[in-house]
Amino acid sequence: MQNANSELLESARKKFSKFRELKSEFGEDKAWETMLEGFPELQKQRMGPLLALPTLIEGFLKSIPIFNAIGMDMVAVDISNLGIDAALEIQRVCPYLEAGKEFGFDTPCHVICELDMEASRRAFPEMKGEILCRQALGSPVCIFKYERPAKNKTEAIKPSLP
């Protein structure tokens, strides 16, 4: 687990460094678009197999060991309802907080989480994603909501909350 966490933090440091350089040289908008180059395709590779499962919650439950292996302590909750397949991804640990501060970002959300959300939106236009709360802004957890039209409408009529 320590090795996976170290790799994650090193990758985050590279993102923060690159974003800071690009922003300084070209401005915020160009930095953002440059960081997104090729990212939607990568998201398709990473998330595609999980999102191909019948419901979002199935994919998110399968991803828990991956996130936990890098120290994020994830929980997933099925909030499907009214013909919408939906899930919450709850992260109890944000490994990016300290790494972001090293590069002058008080909140790492824009460079890491918002960039991930935008890449996912571009990779999977049928799916909506939203960041509901952030540890960087004082919340006890980070919560991400994902939704898409249900593949099987009868399964998504009532939420199956724990």
Q: What are the pLDDT digits (tens) for 126-158?
A: 999 999 999 999 999 999 999 999 987 555 455
The pLDDT, as a whole number, for residue 123 is: 97
The pLDDT, as a whole number, for residue 121 is: 96
What CATH number is attached to the domain comprising 142?
Answer: 3.30.1380
Q: Is residue 142 part of a domain?
A: yes
Q: pLDDT category, 3, cuts 50, 70, 90?
A: low
Q: How many domains does the chain have?
A: 1
Q: Is residue 69 part of a domain?
A: yes
Residue ranges making up the domain that contains 98: 2-156
Q: Is residue 82 part of a domain?
A: yes
Q: Is residue 162 part of a domain?
A: no
The pLDDT, as a whole number, for residue 6 is: 79
Q: Is residue 146 part of a domain?
A: yes
Closest CA to 5 of 62, 68, 63, 59: 68
Looking at per-residue confidence, does 114 or 1 come out higher? 114
Q: Is residue 6 part of a domain?
A: yes
Return mean pLDDT, the chain.
90
Q: How far is residue 9's CA from residue 15's CA, in Å, rounded to a whole number?
A: 10
Helix intervals (H) in 74-112: 96-102
Q: What are the pLDDT digits (tens) for 8-27?
A: 788 889 999 999 999 999 99
Asked whether the whole model's pTM tops 0.85, one would answer yes
